[in-house]
Amino acid sequence: MDSDGPEEGSVPPRSGIVCHPGRERRAARAHHPGALDGAGRAGARRPGGGGSSGDPLVDRTEQGLHIERLIAEGGMGAVYAARRTATGEPVALKVLRRVHAGDPGIASRFAREVRLARRIDHPNVCPVLGEGRLEDGRPFFLMPLFRGVTLGEEVRRSGPLPLRRALALADQILAGLAAMHAARVVHRDLQPGNVLLVDAPSGAGEAAPTVKLIDLGFAHEPGADTGDGVTPGSPGSLVGTLRFMSPEQAMRSRAITERSDLFAAALLIYYALSGKLPFRGRGDLDVLVAIVRSSPVPLRRERRDVPRVLDEVLTRALSKHPDHRFAGAAAMRDALAAVRA
């Protein structure tokens, strides 16, 4: 469980697949991302590995990959920038952390992340490019290496987003969720650090970045036993990011379903437009109580320029009972399209 709120910004996203100079200096304390020629060429593994960073994987070459630098490290996995030795293609390598190598439960969750991600083929969901095991036996999988920032970084850097830009991003978030849900996958951890905003191609002008939903480490299939207490007759374990949980996640009162993700999507949209959340308190426990018991603070109280109908869409998606929310991500996306019109 991740207890960070929207201020989690100094912590890189658990997936770590964005190339970001500031984050890489903090996370890896190694090469600047622009210094690819020297660090990025395939070559023989240095004796003992580790290079100048002290990380034993950095500067190693194995399984057809040259591992260049650490991008981020989360609770379950560490993510590295790497290159395929045959083609020079840059990729992100996510590997199970060494401390968890002997934990069958964590290893099972890592494998589940790969299995569920492979079900989804959509431009707004980060794909898995391949998988395997390192020489020390730890599992890994590969993702594209993007350039951009997370939604959390964007809001902290520039403040609340313009309405048109926020709605364009929300449309992509919901499109990705619709594809995910069609594949019988519930994300369970939608939060600003798990929404990548990939830079638009050069020459695209003011085009909105492409959203990539990432990090399926907490994802599950509704009704299936995922190994963390979620079964057809059980509401499951407390998983996710505290300030972005639905009431049923916070209370473990009902099964977590696709409509739980819609609650989190509404929180993301509210956050993108205000830099705040509609359920507030002095600490995480107060926020959880507000999520379960309180009405959301209307977005128009924070921004008078947003149309009233947008507040109505968000209020519906933030209903305490899942049955009172939208029927699915596509229906919520259609409601937001009416706001954009």
Chain centroid offset of residue 131 CA: 19
- Strand 139-144 relative to strand 195-198: parallel, antiparallel, unpaired? unpaired
Which residues are catalytically annotated? Answer: 189
Instruction: Name the DSSP letter for residue 246.
Output: -
212: left (phi over 0), alpha (psi -120 to 50) or beta: beta
Quickly count: other Cβ atoms within 10 Å of residue 44's Cβ.
9
Two tokens at 281?
A: 């308190």
Long-range contacts of 106-113 (CB under 8 A, 24+ apart): 106/76, 107/139, 108/227, 109/76, 109/217, 109/226, 109/227, 109/228, 110/76, 110/77, 110/139, 110/217, 111/139, 112/219, 112/220, 112/226, 112/227, 113/141, 113/216, 113/217, 113/219
Instruction: Name the DSSP letter for residue 225.
Output: -
